[in-house]
Chains A and B, each alone.
Chain A
Amino acid sequence: MTSGAAALPRDARATVRERWRMGSPALSLVFVSAVLLAFGLAVLYSASAIVAINEGRPGTFYLTRQLSGAAIGVVAFMIAAKMDAERWREWAWPLMWATLAALLLCLVLPNSIAPRVNGSKRFLFGTSLQPSELGKFAVVVWTSMLVVKKSEQLRRFTRGLLPFLVVLLGLCVLAAAEPDLSVAMLYTLLMAIVLFAGGARLAHFMLIGGLAIPFLWKEVERVQYAVLRLTSFLDPGRAPSAVSYQLHQSLVAVGSGGIFGTGFGEGRQQYGFLPYPYSDFIASNVGEEWGFVGMAALTLAFAAYALFGFRIARAARTPFLQLLAVGLTFTTVLTAYLHIGVVVGLLPTTGLTLPFASYGRSNLILTLFTTGVLANIGSSRERVTGVTATNPFAG
């Protein structure tokens, strides 16, 4: 069938080069992320400087360390953005095994390697590596891969949904043993979202949800709590009295910010009233120093991140990448909203970070890296031919 090929210039192919070109949603996403990163670093400096000085360190201690994370993160972003995201499919199982192994290592290794920090064993090698962050990416990649692989079987229970539940159970048990219930909850949510986007039956979700209620009674209470918070918002007289100290300080911070805030660096809560103001409650610093306007802008920025992420997902090249983009967008945005919800007292207190802002290099690198993967999904392979193909600077 190819006898005529000789009639054509075969060397034409040799001068063809392919490169990734970001579409407009991807460019917008990168812009939003850059703004969030810059803003996040500023907020981190403001929230951590006093704490660092009180600890007898230079005021820029946390900022410098975070900046090193940002530098690695930007490199990770660039690599991910120029690498065909489809290749993560092949890495799904290795990533999942690596996550399970790392989570297990956190538990079994002696305190010298996997130290106990504030009562939980979440880190490896001092506090430099937090395997549960890798786990977020692994959960999304692995679930997307298996959803696409199972395709039609997904609509059945035993051969479709059950394998997902087995792996999820393993992950959650390990995360809960650290203990880090927030991460276990996030894994569950992320897997559920990808499964739902992949076309799993709503009835199966209801069934699992129904079965899980007795085991997750605490979670149900949390939902009740959230509803209670909402009603108390409308009727302050009936607000729950047992608000934790941390949350109380956070509410004081957000409340004292008013409409426009006290001004950058002018906040009072980082003077030690609020424990860990630079991580689990960093958004309260935004609320205090940047006010309602700052919080609204932060919320909108993550909404924009979601919007562009979903646009990328909708137009993704393959079904696997559609799911991967949905999952990765949720990984960042869901974490952010759960964090903001906690800080303003809308949700029960959990240990979730604010992506781009909270101190934690594993999280920052992961967030920048997943943004890079999203940017690649939002890119198309462009063919460059002729002279410009061999010399990117010509033409």
Chain B
Amino acid sequence: MTSRASAPAMLADWQQREIAVIGLARSGRSVATLLARNGSTVYASDAGRSPELDEAEEQLRREGVDVELGGHDLDRIGRVGLVVVSPGVPPGAPALRAAAVRGIEIVSEVEMALRFLPGLHYVAITGTNGKTTTTALIAHLLQALRHRAVAAGNIGTPLSEIALQPALPEWVALEVSSYQLHSTPGIKPAVGVLTNLSPNHLDRYTSVADYYGDKKLLFRNSDAASQWITNADDDAVESLAADAAGLHCRFSLRGQTDAYFDRESQMLVALGCKIVQREELALVGDHNVANALAAVLAVMLASPDHRAAGALERIRAGLRSFRGLEHRIEIVLEKDGVLWINDSKSTNVASTQIALRGMTRPTVLLLGGKHKGEPYSTLAPELQRTVKTVIAYGEAAPVIMRDLDGVVPVEQGGTVFADIVARARRVARPGDAILLSPACSSFDMFSDYEHRGREFKRLVTSA
């Protein structure tokens, strides 16, 4: 029993009966382990089959978890006391319906982990775009302030893994998606950040209102002591947060507010203090200035000690030393006059839009993957400004070719990634840039966006 949250003398009600864990990617695996180690009977299942899942099965069996791969025992799920769902499982999946019709509570992995981490200090970050960079930057700044701080949630490390560690970190920067918010009734962050909102995930939500409705659940437990950071430039964010109790602070790239970017002096200002010059940030694009403002505000609100003179010095040092994220507008190399940029993290149209806004060279854009339901035509103005050729690939290729017909030249790239990259290389001329910013998820050809990004970098550097 190495878990810090060691088995309590009396199990809570929800721990008395069997618990089903649906989906056995990284977070499903951690939460099943966490539950098993704390004395629950756990049934874990995944509809898929892969070498990774076989490995997960073996590891979980050693923890005493009953594992099933390649399908779910719906009858059994109908009898459990609680269902824990992984972020990758679609809301209408039969396993979830089986639980829902019997009125069984369905919670996220985050909710489960939070129940084992009472008193955890955490900053929760959500929004359509920018949340991963903001989460990473918040964790980095908290570390710069000499805290034991980690980034967790969607960013990579599941919160359950933190709960399994023997020592509790002082702070957690927790990235939460709208799906996780939907089934995390216990969320109550010290500081909550809502970066921005734009229609996304129309493959999983029937309407924009449903999607925004889930994002609003960030505020579900707000009280007078709550602290919220919202985007003053985004009306959707502001109206969503309007009736949440607690302290509201805003950031803006346009006007003066709690944290803002002063274009004249190129200075980032937060709570009345000059923080850093824009050029001191190793991040490109206006959206990253907004992310930095949100992160600085979050950290300054997290504790009054972070507003003292000495703390500001450390925050400044932290901002200057932050190097951005892999797979997010990451420059791979420049070869034969062509700049290769990996933006594999862009899994929606708005995110690709942001990457395109930062482009200053004629660009060959690799667009495609698993279609998520958004139209690509909204990219047209940016495409016409900077893109010379779009290479459409993967499952989404026919939709892309239809949506962008007559906007910019579009070539069919096929479904073999090496061929797609080779085609881009042939099209590009010295002085051009090649941008992988797919606007789609990666699951038709890769295990996740990181896999896609690594593969891109490998092909680029090895040629």
Chain A residues within an 8 Å CB radius of B308 = 319, 322
Type the 1/0 row for B322-352, where 1 means its CB is closer than 8 Å to any CB of A: 0000000000000000000000000000100
Assembly CA distance A319 to B275 (angstroms): 12
**Contact partners of B197 in chain A: CB under 8 A:** 1-2, 4
Any chain B CB within 8 A of the CB of A218?
A: no
Cα–Cα distance between A325 and B274 once the two chains are bound (Å): 20
Number of interface residues of B (CB under 8 A): 38
Q: Quick check: is B408 within 8 A (CB to CB) of the other chain? A: no
Are B248's CB and A314's CB within 8 A? no
What size tier do the contact residues of chain A reach? 35 or more
- For chain A, residues 159 to 215, give those with C-beta under 8 angstroms from any C-beta of chain B: 197-199
Whether A387 is near chain B, meaning CB under 8 Å from some CB there, is no
Chain A residues with Cβ below 8 Å from B75 are none
The smallest C-beta distance from A339 to any residue of chain B, in angstroms, reads 30
- Let me know if B307 is at the binding interface, CB within 8 A: yes
Beta-carbon contact of A152 and B235 below 8 Å: no
Contacting pair B235 A5 (CB below 8 A) = yes
Q: Does B11 contact A (CB under 8 A)?
A: no
Which of A13, A89, A147, A383 is within 8 Å of B245, CB to CB?
A383
Partner of A314, one of B199, B212, B304, B316: B304
Q: Is the CB of B313 within 8 A of A152?
A: yes
B238 within 8 A of A: yes
Query: What is the chain A residue whose CB lies nearest that of B316?
Result: A152
Cross-chain contact B243 with A12 (CB below 8 angstroms): yes
Is A316 located at the chain interface by the 8 A CB criterion?
A: yes
The answer, yes or no, to whether A21 is at the interface (CB within 8 Å) is yes
Per the bound structure, the CA–CA distance linking A7 and B205 in Å amounts to: 14
Taking a contact as CB atoms under 8 Å apart, the answer to whether A13 and B238 are in contact is yes
Taking CB atoms, residues of chain A closer than 8 Å to B247 are 380-381
Q: How far is it, in angstroms, between the C-alpha of A322 and the C-alpha of B308 when the chains are bound?
A: 8
Q: Which of A4, A16, A314, A383 counts the most chain B CB atoms within 10 A?
A: A4
Instruction: Across the interface, name the chain A residue whose C-beta is closest to B243.
Output: A385
B273 within 8 Å of A (CB atoms)? yes
Per the 8 Å Cβ criterion, residues 298-329 of B in contact with A are 304-305, 307-310, 312-313, 316
CB pair A148–B239 under 8 Å, yes or no, is no
B196 pairs with A149, CB closer than 8 A: no
Contact present for B209 and A386 (CB under 8 Å): no
The reply on B198 being an interface residue by CB < 8 A is yes
Cα–Cα, bound, A199→B311 (Å): 10
User: Bound state CA distance, A9 and B240, in angstroms?
Assistant: 9
Chain A residues whose CB sits within 8 angstroms of the CB of B100 once the complex forms: none
> Which residues on the A side are within 8 Å of B235 (C-beta)?
2, 5
* Docked complex Cα distance between A12 and B248 (Å): 15
Complex alpha-carbon distance, A152 and B320, angstroms: 14
Contact of A317 among B212, B244, B271 (CB under 8 A): B271
Q: What is the bound-complex CA distance between A267 and B420, given in angstroms?
A: 99
In the complex formed, the residue of A with least CB distance to B225 is A380
Contact B271 A319 (CB under 8 A): yes
A14 nearest CB neighbor, chain B only: B242
A320 to B274, CA, bound (A): 12
Q: B448 near A: Cβ within 8 Å?
A: no
Q: Does B207 contact A (CB under 8 A)?
A: yes
A151 touches B312 (CB 8 A): yes
Specify which of B199, B209, B239 is in contact with A13 (CB 8 Å cutoff).
Answer: B239
Chain B neighbourhood of A315, CB < 8 A: 304
Expressed in whole angstroms, the Cα–Cα distance for A198 and B313 within the complex equals 12
Report, nearest first, the 5 A-B pairs whose CB atoms are least far apart: A199-B309, A318-B271, A385-B243, A7-B209, A5-B236
B: residues with CB less than 8 A from A are 196-199, 207-209, 211-212, 224, 233-236, 238-240, 242-248, 271-274, 304-305, 307-310, 312-313, 316, 350
- 5 A-B pairs in the complex with CB atoms less than 8 angstroms apart: A1-B198, A5-B235, A148-B272, A319-B307, A383-B244
Additional 10 contacts, C-beta under 8 A, given A7-B207, A322-B308, A383-B245:
A1-B233, A2-B197, A3-B198, A4-B198, A149-B274, A152-B316, A318-B307, A319-B308, A381-B247, A385-B242
